[in-house]
Structure 1
Amino acid sequence: MKVYRFLTGLDDAAFCHRVTDALNKGWSLHGSPSLAFNAATGQMQAGQAVMKEVEGKEYHPDMKLSEQ
Structure 2
Amino acid sequence: MKVYRFLTGPDDSSFCHRITAALNKGWELHGSPSLTFNSVTGQMIAGQAVVKDVPGKDYDPEMKLADQ
Flag whether TM exceeds 0.5 (same fold): yes
**TM-score normalised by length of structure 1:** 0.96
Q: How many residues align?
A: 68
Q: 2:22 is aligned with what amino acid?
A: A
* Cα distance in 2, alignment partners of residues 18 and 31 from structure 1: 17
SS of alignment partner, residue 61 of structure 1: coil
* Cα distance in 2, alignment partners of residues 30 and 39 from structure 1: 27
Q: 2:13 is aligned with what amino acid?
A: A
Deviations 1:10-40 (A, max 9, x none): 0000000000000000000000000001100
What RMSD, in angstroms, separates the aligned Cα atoms of the two structures?
0.8
Moved over 2 A (4+): none
**TM-score normalised by length of structure 2:** 0.96
* Identity over aligned pairs, percent: 74
